[in-house]
A and B are shown apart, each in its own frame.
Chain A
């Protein structure tokens, strides 16, 4: 049995309690009406999930966050699921201040700019879907119209939760960044390599996708697939392009802007790895998981500190943190190579693999690798594993 809606008897607290779903969305889109937005989020129970309902929007998105489908979309990473949840709620709840409306009645603010999403875009899209359905399948009964609007809104929210999962995955990748492109009077959200400047992105689009037309179905996917192909091609091309050039080592170069490590900030590999490990405690081996997030972060920092001071005393550190020598060795052993079977490349301890992961997302490290043959190493790995075609 459902929990039933929560009504308020203070009519003044719900000035739009009598409006239909479409009327409320219209208030939000055309007037930026916060009371209508509050009514939609706080009082309307429009969603059903897995036998539960009716649920409010946030409750529904929370249910989706716990689904196995969402876990697949987020590549099994719970942190990304949480980000996808926040992003979806923002898409339908975040109403920026003071934005003028276009003459069409649609908001003029960017869909996902620096201030976050503008919910008017998402409610406007819902109204468009609802209007199309009404036109295709007219219903004279207002009860039926309201029910149909609920179905459409639920699927609209579900779709955007799925897309938020993928956006979270992209946001977590420091090698790419969002680029908003205006074409035929509409905005397209695309993802380009971080190293490309806005001007380069625009030039590339002009040369390779000058026919971009956001009104064409699935256009964003077509353009993005072109960019993705180029991204891989650039990587492979750069293998050939860069070698060890000692002259590059003499003059300090400006630090590239890096979303994870802002310009001018001191980059602490030790802290970055510690925080990443602690944030993904649930993905650690049982013995390490048992340490808890705080102790794990402390252990990682201690290992990095000891490395700087001298040899790691594996057995002493293991005892101090209550780990067996075998557990410590799998986690952060300092001599893995001699024990490694030649075919077993996975023998690198978890902490060092994780350090490699953190480094792989730092543009400064990748750029430094260009001058020192890192790309040659990547090319060798690539040659051993798969053909470039497989990467697409």
Chain B
């Protein structure tokens, strides 16, 4: 009888296409809105990802990577002395204003990298990061560099009344705020950043191979009283901060709720109409001895088929949208992690099953004697 159910569904091409296309649009909108949300949230953690440090040590009150809560210079030595720490280097990460040749100011994200190792330097597209040892040398990120008037190698920018010469262009993805990234040696960065009593705001560290990283971060917290995070923990700390403190989840959530309601009403109505149109056939099947359980299975199968086809089409459309409009260098933040696919699939199936439930109620309560009514 399941084969009969499939033929009943697909034989009514207009209803079938209405159901599938409705679900396709709903799942596309789910995935598109969800992917933009995930893309935005993941971009908040870009400043952490681009460094690639196993352990981040910061002020215990710090709530995200974008906050500036400097540490004492002595904290670097304290971290280095913690059992299980293989190495530790200082880093400055601050927002500073660049004075552009046209007189405008542009905020950039300034990384001051350890003078000796340049740990955290990005992959270069042009120039050479080893030139950061030179006076006034900086490397700028490729993304958003148009906000700095597309400087070329050798061009001079000005930060904190100090000249900086571009020695390289690096491959750096866009972040949440769309700030250009600027890299300098730690000592040079101290000159570019506004003067404060304390300047260093992160210590980057790595664990020895023989100890699990969680134990080493625990050791750092216990010994120094500072906050210590693995890269993943620090990413999620930052993402969580923006999740809680911006209106993005609510805005996207409202959009998704509206998509759900519109999808539910369209699919529910179409399914119900499908049941109504097929009432006498369902009645005939009941009269001929089809049990309510079998009819329920038939309707559930129909719902699952349109759900799967609709979701598959919508996901495909979302994927194409992501390929065209998304990507690391795109201005549109777009990321589709697998949990988003799972959630979207479950939401689509929920719409289908709720719609099917309405039809099932109708069909199960249907008196088979309806077939003898004119």
Report if A and B associate in a common complex.
no
A: residues with CB less than 8 A from B are none
B: residues with CB less than 8 A from A are none
